[in-house]
């Protein structure tokens, strides 16, 4: 079996590949029928395989590239490691506002930053290793899978019989339809973490979560970044106030934004890449050293021979599933980016749990029952769970919104992190939480409190009775609960209270 390689082929990447696609791995010999054959070893596939095997199922796991999928190899782990380094650079830049004088000459060692990215990825990789899953009793096969019959999957010349199968092959980056982009060359999340030299000038195409996270990270690490986005503000699917806070911070940090942008053409002139674009009716051009495309994902449906087993799919949205994650073939399920609108590691994790119950135990668990939070890891972070206010109104719900700005929260003032807020939406006339958005440096660490409340059907009023340590930024959540409770003090209630207190003096 040929070795998978990730550039640069240094000790850390060699350690990674030795864990998640070892060159000396010998596929086992299939024996008998499997309860579950899992195709794809990203988060959805790994959780499905491990969970099913832990319950006693006979499981086969197939992966043609690297176990761990996008999250470990080209997604969450490397990007958040890089973002952490960029945050350290920003802290050094802003140290003077806290009374700390940083000596002149402090600079970013980009090669060392990227070496740390590779080191962290290698350190985490044993958790997703071939060895670990084989030790769970799972038959791990490295190779490309295809359905060869109504109850068989072929991989590396071997036939695997299954009672149920799960497709968890994920999605991949696709090239934006921009003239000359392919010829000029560009980076994606699948290649950007192989960089060893910092691009002096970087263009990022796409102002969604991925584009924004990496644009800010590269700007902080010393690149001159221009971010192109086709809409009037970045993060256009997010709460507009939240997006506005992040956008304002981008401008403060010197990141150039080209909004309402239509990138027409890219051409290479020597070492430079010229981007020709139009915005608000005006045409312009800019020269950069590298281009990072942060738009477009396509499901990995090719080569599976889905037609042979009657699994419906399309090239844009992937495999069709019902709310139980069952495909058009009742013996075959799917989970993760291959079939879901939520493209998050934690979403794939919990979808896998649904698949285990439904595929093996005749369960009827529903994907729509999940209360799904998500986080965009800019600085400040934007975390959200449940409905946006606009979504609630589109569903005919009347909404009350409770807002607490961090310039009113003591700990945020102490931290110098005042540009953010907690916003919680409730169904009008009740304290039933419909959704929440938090904008804060560690918003991702705060949103779970609201998720727990929503999952446990705990109202906003009851959150006010939860004692939060002082001083913490999470107090803002409790303060939203206090604000709700104050609305319960109607004029009639206040009048009665005054009479009682006067009577009992």
99: Cα separation from own chain's centroid: 35
From residue 298, alpha-carbon distances to 67, 209, 315, 415, 416 in Å are: 19, 17, 7, 41, 41
Tokens representing 239 are: 């709460």
- Select from 239, 272, 156, 227 the least CA-distant residue to 425: 239
Which residues, including other chains, have CB under 8 Å from residue 264's CB and lie 6 or more apart? 178, 179, 276, 277, 278, 283
Q: Check the annotation: does 128 bind a ligand.
A: no
| Residue spans of beta strands (DSSP E) within 335-420 | 373-376, 381-386, 399-405
Q: Check the annotation: does 105 bind a ligand.
A: no
Q: Check the annotation: does 211 bind a ligand.
A: yes
Tokens representing 50 are: 């491990």
In whole angstroms, give the CA distance from residue 25 to residue 210.
34
Q: Check the annotation: does 210 bind a ligand.
A: yes
468 burial class (0-12, 13-18, 19+ CB within 10 angstroms)? middle
Rg (CA), the chain: 25
From residue 499, alpha-carbon distances to 487, 488, 490, 491, 492 in Å are: 19, 18, 14, 12, 11
Q: What's the DSSP call for residue 471? A: S
Does residue 328 contact residue 310 with C-beta atoms inside 8 Å?
A: yes
Tokens representing 151 are: 């109850």
Preceding amide of 471 cis, omega within 30: yes
Q: Check the annotation: does 337 bind a ligand.
A: yes
In whole angstroms, give the CA distance from residue 460 to residue 454.
9
Q: Check the annotation: does 206 bind a ligand.
A: yes
Q: What is the DSSP string of 210-257?
A: HHHHHHHHHHHTT-EEEEE-SSSSSSTTS-HHHHHHHHHHHHHTT-EE
Which residues, including other chains, have CB under 8 Å from residue 338's CB and lie 6 or more apart? 40, 44, 167, 168, 169, 170, 171, 299, 300, 301, 318, 319
Binding positions are: 80, 206-213, 296, 337
Binding positions for NAD(+) are: 206-213, 296
Binding positions for FAD are: 80, 337
């Amino acid at each position: 079996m040929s070795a998978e390689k990730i550039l640069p082929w240094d000790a850390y990447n060699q350690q990674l590949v030795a864990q998640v696609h070892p060159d000396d791995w010998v596929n086992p010999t299939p024996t008998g029928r499997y309860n579950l054959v899992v195709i794809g070893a990203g988060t959805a596939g790994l959780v499905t395989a491990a969970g099913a095997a832990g319950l006693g199922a006979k499981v086969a796991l197939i992966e043609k590239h690297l176990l761990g999928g996008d999250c470990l190899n080209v997604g969450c782990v490397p990007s958040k490691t890089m973002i952490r380094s960029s945050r350290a650079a920003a802290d050094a830049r802003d140290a003077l506002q806290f009374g700390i004088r940083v000596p002149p000459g402090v600079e970013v060692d980009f090669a060392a930053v990227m070496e740390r990215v590779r080191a962290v990825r290698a350190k985490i990789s044993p958790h997703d290793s071939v060895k670990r899953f084989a030790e769970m009793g799972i038959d791990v096969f490295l190779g490309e899978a295809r359905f060869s019959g109504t109850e068989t999957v072929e991989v590396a010349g071997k036939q695997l019989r299954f009672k149920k199968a799960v497709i968890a092959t994920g999605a991949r980056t696709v090239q934006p339809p921009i003239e000359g982009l392919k010829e000029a060359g560009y980076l994606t999340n699948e290649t950007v973490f192989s960089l060893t030299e910092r691009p002096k000038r970087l263009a990022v195409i796409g102002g969604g979560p991925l584009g924004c996270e990496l644009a800010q990270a590269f700007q902080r690490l010393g690149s001159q970044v221009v971010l192109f986005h086709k809409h009037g503000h970045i993060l256009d699917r997010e709460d507009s106030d939240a997006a506005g806070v992040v956008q304002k911070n981008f401008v403060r940090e010197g990141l150039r934004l080209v909004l309402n942008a239509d990138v027409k053409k890219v051409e290479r002139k020597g070492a430079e890449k010229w981007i020709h674009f139009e915005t608000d009716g005006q045409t312009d051009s800019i020269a950069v050293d590298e281009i990072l495309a942060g738009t477009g994902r396509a499901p990995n449906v090719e080569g599976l021979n889905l037609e042979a087993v009657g699994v419906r799919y399309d090239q844009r949205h992937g495999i069709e599933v019902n709310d139980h994650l069952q495909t058009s073939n009742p013996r075959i399920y799917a989970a993760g980016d291959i079939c879901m609108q939520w493209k998050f590691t934690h979403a794939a994790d919990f979808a896998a749990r649904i698949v285990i119950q439904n595929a093996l135990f005749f369960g009827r668990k529903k994907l729509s029952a999940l209360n799904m939070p998500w986080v965009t890891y800019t600085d400040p972070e934007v975390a959200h769970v449940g409905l946006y206010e606009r979504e609630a109104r589109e569903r005919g719900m009347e909404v009350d919104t409770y807002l607490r700005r961090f310039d009113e929260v003591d700990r945020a003032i102490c931290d110098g992190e005042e540009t953010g807020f907690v916003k919680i939406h409730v169904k009008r006339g009740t304290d039933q939480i419909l959704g929440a958005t938090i904008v804060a440096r560690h918003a991702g660490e705060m949103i779970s409190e609201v998720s727990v409340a929503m999952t446990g059907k705990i109202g906003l009023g009851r959150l006010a009775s939860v004692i939060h340590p002082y001083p913490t930024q999470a107090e803002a959540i409790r303060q939203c609960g206090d604000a709700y409770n104050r609305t319960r003090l109607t004029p009639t209630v206040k009048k009665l209270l005054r009479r009682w207190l006067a009577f009992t003096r």
